[in-house]
Amino acid sequence: MTQTPVLELIGISKRFGDTQANDDISISLDKGEVVALLGENGAGKTTLMSILFGHYTPDSGVVKVAGVELPQGKPRAAINAGVGMVHQHFSLSANLTVLENVMTGTERLFRLGSNTRAGRKKLMEISERFGLKVDPDARVGDLSVGEQQRVEILKALYNDAQILILDEPTAVLTNIEAEKLYATLREMAAKGLSLIFISHKLHEVLAAADRVVVLRGGKAVAERKAKDTDRAELAELMVGRRVARPVREASTPGAVVLSARGVSVGTKLTDLDFELRAGEMLGIIGVSGNGQTTLAHLVSGLVAPDDGTFEVFGEPVTRASVTAMIEKGVGRIPEDRNAEGAIGDMTIWENAVLERVFSSRFSKAGLVDRQAARTFSSQLVERFDVRGGDPDKRIRLLSGGNMQKLILGRNLMDDPKILIAAQPTRGLDEGAIAAVHARILQARKAGAAVLLISEDLDEVISLADRIQAIAGGRLSPPVDADKADPRQLGLMMAGDWDDVEPAHAH
Amino acid sequence: MDVIEIFASAGLWGAVLRIATPLIFGTLGALLCERSGVLNLGIEGIMTFGAMIGWLTVYSGGDLWTGIMAAAFFGALFGLLHAVLTVPLGLSQHVTGLGITLFASSLSYYIFRLSVPLASSPPTITPFQPIFIPGLSDLPFFGPALFSQTAPTYLGIALALGLAYVIFRTPLGLAIRMTGENPHGAEAQGVNPIAVRIGAVMAGSALMGVGGAFLTLSAFNSFFPTMVQGRGWVCIALVVFASWRPGRALLGALLFAFFDAFQLRLQNVIGAIPYQIFLMFPYLLSIAALVVMARRARVPQALMQPYRRGER
Amino acid sequence: MRIERRPHRPLSLIVLSPIIAIAAALAVSGGLIAIAGANPFVAYGLILRGAFGSILGFTEMLTRATPLILTGLAAAVAFRAKVWNIGGEGQFYIGAIAVAAFASGSWIAGWPPVLVIPMAMAAGAIAGMAMLLVPLGLRLKFGVDEVVTSLLLNFVALLFVSMMIEGPLRDPLAFGWPSSVPVVDAATLPKLIERTRVHIGLIVAIGLAFAIYFIQARTVFGLQSRAAGLNAPAARFAGVPWVRTLVIVACMSGGLAGLAGAIEVMGVRGYVASDLSPGYGYSGIIVAMLANLHPIGVIAAALFAAIMFVGSDSMSRALGIPSYIADVTVALSLLTMLVSLFFTQYRIVR
């Protein structure tokens, strides 16, 4: 074939400070083709797409659309050339309507009036043609996540995009919604659009793409036709070595240490039932935004139940108290490291002891015992292999994986009886994930009861003994992890669990 | 005179429009800044500077409209300073704004003192005169109540309607709103959020300057330090009260001015209460408005959040 | 060109930033002085001579620095925990009027100073605390930004003080502008140096700066309040009693500003009038920022502001440059300090 590719990235390099985010990457895309860009967090996928779209200027390299070079650093130029970007974090405004979101920036700024009639007509046509139905006058904040993504795609199509870039498009979707999305994308390719999507999920890449480009450490390390490769090969290419995630061994659960019967919290959680035994792990799977945050806050002592019975070691909890939870021996890993887990501008030792500083171990008569605190954090850094963990350094300087090791460590140092792990591996690379999993399994083996709240299906299936799904603030009955299949869990995550046969705690 | 008579006096209603005018300009200015995502606490100082420079322009021989233009120009200049510090550099909008207020007010006193020697009574200029509108201004009651204002007052009312149109009906307004709600979204659509914010803050600050100039060029005829008397802060409260909508900002300013004019007249009726209680009223009213609206108002989502490319 | 966070904050830059900021502010003000037709170097020389050239000038500068240290600490303590107390001016006046009310009657006249002085100071501090607890309460209860409410309350406080000194607390013997009854002798602070105005309030202010430094650096409360200011959700997750911490911070901050007013009455004026403060509350914010919110730095920053204020008075008499130039310089140094602090955290690349 001698046809000019619709899009070419040639020799793109970009450096941020000490990291080479992109190193001489070249990729091409043909008309009607779907290319997947596969790589771990930090492999350089998002940087590359930001360069393509003009958010960043590359240190070297060019972007060509239909053989014509794009000026650098001008999003508007990319849009005009027919490149549309669908962002992972939607670039939408919740307070504006669908039509307003779509029309922003599409008319000359200093026009005296906006031609909303023409805009509405065009939007309806596109939405008709590609089967992406939305109400143009709905406030975006009132739409579901799936609908918001539709708006995000419509926005690109409204700009007459011929090339669509999708950044982790299924990150916030249930697997059923994701399957629908990929069907839509294939259909769009069949109608002549060309697509690149970014993902780190192997099965998606294999199912939806024609061609897969693997990025690792800022380099394009391999390129495969989707039909000529398999999961194992892609996994190894992506990670660069064989990394086996640890899997749970059988255990004998002990007494019930944590239980909820009919627990409700505001409008976020409704009528929850679960129980957790010593030495077992209960996995809570669900799509982001279905009440996980409140659930994590409930078991971490930040909110109290409004209704129902919530018991820790058989004692009912009626008042929210973090310190009471910590004193009872509950270790807590917050779902967002940077927002709740660490205070970036405080030192590592301060972060290590902050939640236990009230205890006589780290303070006397209201004064912080810095000696004890520093010793504790040095031991922690040593035992949990926190790279670059000088106690007097600000924690901001640690990588995500090492920060998570520190957070894990400060909870595991004292062998907690209960461990709450909310999204413990979110945003980590494969090596760090394996390390975190090993630590959590270790705690379970040592007799801790573990509550694992996660969006990662593979993670929950391989670690948890029993699994409950959370949807719309309600919990499904538990199923045995051994008997669970992804299809069934997918239905449960969508809130459909009437046919589920509950597992009985042993 | 009793309370009923106060309502029936045309003077009250004339005063309402007069008192409201600087608040209308100031509130619209603050609203425009905030719609793009920037809180501008420089308003108090910018109004002071506008009052001074407007007056000084006329005092040194310029005409009244040149005074208004000068106030707008220097307002925009202080807006540029605030915008450069808070938008590309992303400094704290609270602290920067206060710094602008302290800088702009002390600079106005300095320039005023430098240009006008200390005298027992401050020098005066000839301010704007009420516009006579044939047919309307000589109506009984309504004439003096509504149609005996100076030109800037009518301009302020027209401006509120014009700004509402710009914000809700034009591509530029949409770009401003998007920038204040989600600058990343604006950037993704090819709108430069930094340029939009700098522009909005400059334009908004120009309006603040004009609001200040009204004080010296229409409401009074001289300049004296501390004459703005917290009106800027009241405007900041009115923006919240107005839920970031220009039309409601106009209503809010009028309502506020009504209470202010009313309490001034009430002082004469009720002699036993110290006048300071009445003077506290506007500030307490602003606080009450904030309390009532704080949770109800639909705040621009990116207000006070600095935008840096590629950083979320 | 892009702005990038520095991986390390060089200590030299942090230490130098206030000096760079002040130099930049002086440079701009120098331009304004030159426009007014005077030689800026001569003017700055006269300012320094005004503040250091005579015992009188020097002690006057220290007297002026005393309330600035206290209002500076008030802002520094609050800002560190992200409690935006802009109401220092109002708290200052409320503290002052509380002392005038408390320590002026004949009932207290016979009491010994060792009792009256601490009690009067406490009265001022408590009044200041109460004044700040209102906006903090509105923030915690209704989500109202305390910046605007504490600003608006400044005007309310001033009107309240005006009402008091024209009403119940009016001094019937005073001529001209209304002023409050004077405080009793037992509530008057002893002078540090005879026949000057500098009083032991200066020692109290410096002592408090060190005490606050100790609290912030060494105590559990210090660690927790810093955590609350830097990252509220993480502090709450770690079990920091968030509301309690903010309330204590507000009490410290409002108390310090109230104390500043009390001490100014007890040490300098002897009574309250509506010109008691030339904006000490607002200048305190600048002092705190110049000190990068460090309590010991507040002392140095307050001295800088005091030098400018006192020195410019005598410079103004000699050169005819309005003494407002001091306010301009000090306000500018806040803006330049913000910029130079920015460059300790970020750098511009390419």
Which of C338, C341, C343 is best to mutate for the B interface (most B CBs within 10 A)?
Answer: C338
Q: Which residue has the higher pLDDT, A498 or A412?
A: A412
Q: How far apart are CA B54 and CA B70, in angstroms?
A: 6
pLDDT of residue A172 exceeding 80, the answer is no
Q: How far apart are CA A226 and CA C301, in angstroms?
A: 66
Same topology between domain A7-239 and domain A256-493: yes
Alpha helices in chain C (DSSP H): 11-35, 40-52, 55-80, 88-102, 113-142, 146-166, 201-218, 220-230, 232-237, 242-264, 280-290, 295-319, 324-345
pLDDT of residue A478 exceeding 80, the answer is yes
Q: Which tokens hold the place of A141?
A: 């904040």
Rounded mean pLDDT, A309-315: 94
Q: What is the pLDDT of residues C254-284, one digit of tens each?
A: 999 999 999 999 999 999 999 999 999 999 9
| Mean pLDDT across chain B | 91
Residue C349: which residues within 8 A CB-CB, separation 6 or more?
A: C1, C2, C3, C4
pLDDT for A432 equals 85
Asked if residues A274 and A420 have their Cβ atoms less than 8 Å apart, the reply is no
CA dihedral C186, C188, C190, C194 (to 10 degrees): -120
Q: Which residue of B has its CA nearest to A99?
A: B174
SS3 helix, strand, coil % of chain A, rounded to 5?
Answer: 35, 25, 40
Query: What confidence tier does A55 reach under pLDDT thresholds 50, 70, 90?
Result: confident
Q: Which residues of B touch A94 (CB under 8 A)?
A: 181, 301
Nearest-CA distance A330 → chain C (Å):
12
Q: What is the pLDDT of residues A207-258, one digit of tens each?
A: 889 999 999 888 999 999 988 988 888 888 888 876 677 888 888 889 999 9
Share of chain B above pLDDT 90, in %: 71
Q: Which residue has the tokens 């005023």?
A: B112
Of the ranges A302-311, B27-36, B128-137, B191-200, which one carries the lowest mean pLDDT score? B128-137
Instruction: Work out the number of other CB atoms within 10 angstroms of the CB of residue C100.
Output: 33
Per the CATH hierarchy, to which homologous superfamily does domain A256-493 belong? P-loop containing nucleotide triphosphate hydrolases (3.40.50.300)
- Residue-range domain boundaries for chain B: 3-116+145-293
Residue B127: which residues within 8 A CB-CB, separation 6 or more?
A: B64, B150, B216, B217, B218, B219, B220, B221
| Mean pLDDT across chain A | 89
pLDDT for A422 equals 94
Q: Which residues of C touch A368 (CB under 8 A)?
A: 218-220, 222-223
Q: What is the pLDDT of residues C94-141, one digit of tens each?
A: 999 999 999 998 888 889 999 999 999 999 999 999 999 999 999 999
Q: Which of C311, C253, C308, C258 is nearest to C285 (CA)?
A: C253
Q: What is the pLDDT of residues B98-113, one digit of tens each?
A: 999 999 999 999 999 9
- The amino acid at C17: S
Handedness of CA A46, A92, A149, A29 (dihedral sign): negative
Query: What confidence tier does B1 reach under pLDDT thresholds 50, 70, 90?
Result: low
Answer whether B103 sits within 8 Å of C153, measured CB to CB.
Answer: no
DSSP string, chain B: --HHHHHH-HHHHHHHHHHHHHHHHHHHHHHHHHHTT---TTHHHHHHHHHHHHHHHHHTT--HHHHHHHHHHHHHHHHHHHHHHHTTS---HHHHHHHHHHHHHHHHHHHHHHHS---SS------PPPPP-TTTTTSTTHHHHHS---HHHHHHHHHHHHHHHHHHHSHHHHHHHHHHH-HHHHHHTT--HHHHHHHHHHHHHHHHHHHHHHIIIII-SS--TTTTTTHHHHHHHHHHHTTT-HHHHHHHHHHHHHHHHHHHHHHHH--SS-HHHHHHHHHHHHHHHHHHHTTTS---TTTT----TT--
Q: What is the pLDDT of residues B221-255, one digit of tens each?
A: 999 988 999 999 999 999 999 999 999 999 999 99
Q: Which residue of C has its CA nearest to A73?
A: C1
Q: How far apart are CA C16 and CA A355, in angstroms?
A: 34
- For chain A, which residues lie within 8 Å of any Cβ of chain B, measuring from their own Cβ? 50, 53, 55-56, 75-76, 79, 85, 87, 89-96, 100-101, 103-114, 155, 159
- Strands A194-199 and A163-167 come out as parallel
Nearest-CA distance C241 → chain B (Å):
24
Q: Which residue of A has its CA nearest to B182?
A: A93
pLDDT of residue A321 exceeding 90, the answer is yes
pLDDT of residue B312 exceeding 50, the answer is no
- Residue-range domain boundaries for chain A: 7-239, 256-493
Nearest-CA distance A221 → chain B (Å):
25
pLDDT for A243 equals 67
Chains meeting B at 3+ CB pairs closer than 8 A? A, C
Q: How far apart are CA B182 and CA B191, in angstroms?
A: 11
Query: What confidence tier does C1 reach under pLDDT thresholds 50, 70, 90?
Result: low
Q: With an 8 Å Cβ cutoff, is C140 touching chain B?
A: no
User: Which of A343, A350, A367 is opposite residue C218, by nearest beta carbon?
Assistant: A367
- Count of the separate structural domains present in chain C: 1
Which of A51, A91, A116 is best to mutate for the B interface (most B CBs within 10 A)?
Answer: A91
DSSP one-letter code for A23: E
pLDDT for B69 equals 98
User: How many interchain CB pairs under 8 A, A with B?
Assistant: 88
Q: How far apart are CA A373 and CA A353, in angstroms?
A: 6
Q: With an 8 Å Cβ cutoff, is B89 touching chain C?
A: yes
Statement: the pTM of the whole predicted model exceeds 0.80: yes
pLDDT of residue C204 exceeding 60, the answer is yes
Asked if residues C280 and C92 have their Cβ atoms less than 8 Å apart, the reply is yes
Alpha helices in A446-506 (DSSP H): 457-463, 486-493
Which of A79, A88, A93, A137 is best to mutate for the B interface (most B CBs within 10 A)?
Answer: A93
CATH assignment, A7-239: 3.40.50.300
Q: Which of A387, A42, A449 is nearest to A239 (CA)?
A: A42
Q: With an 8 Å Cβ cutoff, is B189 touching chain A?
A: yes
pLDDT for B269 equals 79
Share of chain A above pLDDT 70, in %: 98
Question: Which CATH number fits the domain that encloses residue C292?
Answer: 1.10.3470
User: How many interchain CB pairs under 8 A, B with C?
Assistant: 124
Q: With an 8 Å Cβ cutoff, is B295 touching chain A?
A: no
Burial class (CB in 10 A: 0-12, 13-18, 19+), C342: middle
Q: With an 8 Å Cβ cutoff, is C347 touching chain A?
A: no
Q: With an 8 Å Cβ cutoff, is A255 touching chain C?
A: no
Asked if residues B101 and B81 have their Cβ atoms less than 8 Å apart, the reply is no
Q: Which residue has the tokens 């009074």?
A: B220
pLDDT for A504 equals 59
Q: How far apart are CA A501 and CA A347, in angstroms?
A: 49
Q: A198 phi and psi, to 5 degrees?
A: -100, 135
Q: With an 8 Å Cβ cutoff, is B181 touching chain A?
A: yes
Of the ranges A53-57, A265-269, B80-84, B181-185, which one carries the lowest mean pLDDT score? A53-57
Q: Which tokens hold the place of A330?
A: 């509950």
Share of chain B above pLDDT 70, in %: 98
Chains meeting A at 3+ CB pairs closer than 8 A? B, C
Q: Which residues of A touch B172 (CB under 8 A)?
A: 109-111
Supply the range of the domain harboring residue C98: 2-349
CATH classification (class only), B3-116+145-293: mainly alpha
Query: What confidence tier does A506 reach under pLDDT thresholds 50, 70, 90?
Result: very low
Q: With an 8 Å Cβ cutoff, is B191 touching chain A?
A: yes
Any idea what the Cα angle at residue C280 is, between residues C279 and C283, rounded to 5°? 85
| Mean pLDDT across chain C | 94
pLDDT for A364 equals 92
pLDDT of residue A43 exceeding 70, the answer is yes
Q: C321 phi and psi, to 5 degrees?
A: -80, 130
Q: What is the pLDDT of residues A341-394, one digit of tens each?
A: 999 999 999 999 999 998 899 999 999 999 999 999 999 999 998 988 889 999
pLDDT of residue A2 exceeding 60, the answer is no
Q: With an 8 Å Cβ cutoff, is C238 touching chain A?
A: yes
Nearest-CA distance A113 → chain B (Å):
5
Q: How far apart are CA C250 and CA C244, in angstroms?
A: 10
Rounded mean pLDDT, A381-410: 90
Q: Which residues of B touch C148 (CB under 8 A)?
A: 233, 236-237, 240, 286, 290
Which of C1, C9, C237 is best to mutate for the A interface (most A CBs within 10 A)?
Answer: C237
Q: With an 8 Å Cβ cutoff, is A368 touching chain C?
A: yes
Answer whether C138 sits within 8 Å of B290, measured CB to CB.
Answer: yes
Of the ranges A112-116, B22-26, B71-75, B89-93, which one carries the lowest mean pLDDT score? A112-116
Q: With an 8 Å Cβ cutoff, is B278 touching chain C?
A: no
Answer whether B188 sits within 8 Å of A85, measured CB to CB.
Answer: yes
Answer whether C327 sits within 8 Å of B109, measured CB to CB.
Answer: yes
Q: With an 8 Å Cβ cutoff, is B233 touching chain C?
A: yes
Answer whether B172 sits within 8 Å of A109, measured CB to CB.
Answer: yes
Element spanning A234, H or E: helix A231-239
pLDDT for C350 equals 63
User: Which of C144, C166, C325 is opposite residue B290, by nearest beta carbon?
Assistant: C144
- CA distances to A286, C175, C208, C263 from C298, rounded to whole Å, are 51, 38, 11, 18
Q: What is the pLDDT of residues A480-503, one digit of tens each?
A: 988 888 888 888 988 888 877 776
